Homo-oligomer: A and B are copies of this chain.
């Protein structure tokens, strides 16, 4: 592969610059960016200077933040200026956000004033809003332009646009009135007017809309890009599908983390420090640990029963674990269904009814196995087997009910349903399962 050849050439002394430069032209910017991973302080500016001018900024945008930092410190002011003016505004804003304070000033000083203004604007939008992920390099057209005009405009300015596959049609005051795809332009006659070709019933979002909402629209309509407007419907930027794919993965990661009793973090695991990692975990662990003491006190309340029948203790882990798992299964499906907007509040009754029937089926299957196991392994004690099995049945029913009601209720209370996942559900149903267990045992054994 080309990448191996590049690596070999980089280790040659002296570096064959001309050969490398031509190889770089044929290589994807993402792959070139990977070369900086192990290049280190000395080599990385050297490699960067070999890059053809027109790809340097593009490659830079794909380099990991740590290596970007190393590189910036080694580059001259004019080289930094070239990068900043070559980056798309969304990538430039990301860079400013990622870099430590000592570098940010140099970066902004190197940016031309107009772009600096836009970057500052993007940085001011709320975190995870459409405005914070948009970029401003788009093709804009007037309604009166012809297809011929549009092609000429794209030919002149397209090289620096994030996408040329959708053009945005605006009034002189920047009011967005329509969009027209390159496909439509290519299939139309050269004299056709943009105003007649454009689609006026287009999908858009506002600058302060949540990025999750933007991603949902991309998924629903299979979009490649989307215009972002201010509150007066003026075009201020666009979001493209490659960035939305990142947003989707970020949002999924956030859900995984919340469902795993973690405070969500945007940093990749390997780049996160030990204190930060611990800080993301301790609050949830503490909260759940203290909640679990309630479950402990349920046991204490039944100490008399345990004293008479110590064998009861042996089934506590099985009951607690099964309750937790049964609840986790349900809450996982419900949370995921809500994240994908398949399950909504209006489905609550339908979901509960479904879960009750599923719980009965699961309870019967597990109960049968459980009864047989206890009966034959605990001296054919039918009352004991029955007590445990009955508790198991009731517990599964409870766990499934709690597992579907809590996430939906959380959503209704505008909380994130993902927090009602395995850890919280487990803690709650653990307590419930023990209360059920000891009550059933007391009843059956007349303790």
Q: Which residues of A are at the interface with B, using a C-beta cutoff of 8 A?
A: 2, 26-28, 30, 151, 154-155, 158-159, 164-165, 182-183, 186-187, 200-201, 203, 218-224, 241-242, 244-246, 248-249, 252-253, 255-257, 259-262, 268-270, 274-275, 277-278, 281-282, 284-286, 288-290, 292-293, 295-300, 303, 306-307, 310-311, 313-318, 320-322, 324-326, 328-329, 331-337, 340, 342-343, 347, 350-351, 354, 357-358, 361-362, 365-366, 369-370, 373, 422-423, 426-427, 430-431, 434
Contact = CB atoms under 8 A, between A and B. Distances in A.
A261 to B, nearest CB: 5
A321 B289 contact: yes
A289 B370 contact: yes
Nearest to A377: B293
B261 A245 contact: no
A379 B286 CA distance: 22
Nearest to A275: B361
Given A321-B426, A366-B285, A274 B354 contact: yes
A285 B299 CA distance: 24
Contacts of A182: 164-165, 182, 186
Contact of A292 (B244, B322, B326): B322
A20 to B, nearest CB: 15
Contacts of A300: 311, 313-314
B317 A219 contact: no
B187 A155 contact: yes
B151 A186 contact: yes
Task: List 7 tightest A-B contacts by C-beta distance, closest first.
Answer: A260-B332, A222-B242, A278-B361, A295-B317, A292-B321, A292-B318, A296-B314
A324 B426 CA distance: 10
A325 B284 contact: yes
Contact of A158 (B183, B220, B317, B318): B183
B320 A262 contact: no
17 contacts: A164-B186, A248-B248, A256-B332, A260-B328, A262-B332, A269-B334, A270-B350, A274-B358, A277-B358, A282-B365, A282-B366, A285-B322, A306-B313, A313-B316, A317-B431, A317-B434, A321-B427
Contacts of A219: 245-246, 249
Contact of A296 (B317, B333, B369): B317
Contacts of A261: 325, 328-329, 332
Contacts of A307: 310
Given A268-B342, A285-B326, 18 more contacts: A158-B187, A219-B249, A223-B242, A245-B248, A261-B328, A269-B336, A270-B347, A274-B358, A281-B326, A282-B361, A284-B329, A285-B325, A286-B365, A293-B373, A300-B311, A324-B423, A324-B426, A422-B422
A28 to B, nearest CB: 6
A297 B315 CA distance: 9
